[in-house]
Amino acid sequence: MTTRAQNGIYKPNSKYFSNFSAMTTTTISPLPKDPASAICDPNWNKAHLVGDGKTQQPSVDCDETFSPVVKPVTICTVISIVISQSWTIHQLDVKNAFLHDYLNEKVYMHQPMGFCDKSRPNHVCLLKKSLYGLKQAPRAWYQRFAYFVATIGFSHNKSNHSLFIYNQGLDMAYILLYVDDIILITSSDRLRLHFMALLGAKFVMKDLGPLSFFLGIVVSRDANGMF
């Protein structure tokens, strides 16, 4: 038996699509052989420079590792509060979260392929900020985020460090943090816009609108409640 891919056929099978006539064949980009080839291909524009964390050694170029992951039971508890109080619940995504953070440890890396300084080919790079792939990157991001939200009135929950609580008079808000995904719950739209403006001024963020999908949970809301 031979498959369509083995015969070089990448055109979708019409029986799986009702609107097949409106579809076109997608051109598949070949795997780049070097950084220069990747830069010339627009389909590889989303490539990231990452650090080789598996070569890091504890107490040498990394120390404590920690990833901000909110507990599922906390999510359910906070959502129940949202429903009972008819509060707003919004979802935000932090772009390039790990690149916001400064490193406490000294981390060196080779010059990236394709971007080597020709006048200093034997030099290495001393990183000032964390990169994706480094063992301490999630911890550094959490510390940076926790410090900032503390300056705008939030405190983290003692039993779950990924839950931040704001309570000033009649104004209440919660932030749930899962690495670079954020759920923002506020007691009013005015408060939501206020905190979104503060967070957006500090970090590059994308507003995903009212909560619809989080950690594999699909959410829909109407006047009767939330499903």
**pLDDT attached to residue 164:** 94
Q: What is the CATH class of 72-101+135-226?
A: alpha beta
In the prediction, which pLDDT does 5 show? 58
Q: Token pair for residue 28?
A: 């598949």
Where along the chain do its domains lie?
72-101+135-226
pLDDT tens over the chain, length 227 residues:
556 556 555 555 555 555 544 444 456 778 888 777 887 888 877 767 777 766 766 766 666 666 667 778 888 888 888 888 888 888 898 887 777 667 777 888 888 777 788 898 889 888 887 777 677 777 878 888 889 999 999 998 877 888 999 999 899 999 998 888 889 999 999 999 999 999 999 888 888 888 887 777 787 877 777 77
pTM over 0.75: no
Give pLDDT, residue 186.
Answer: 93
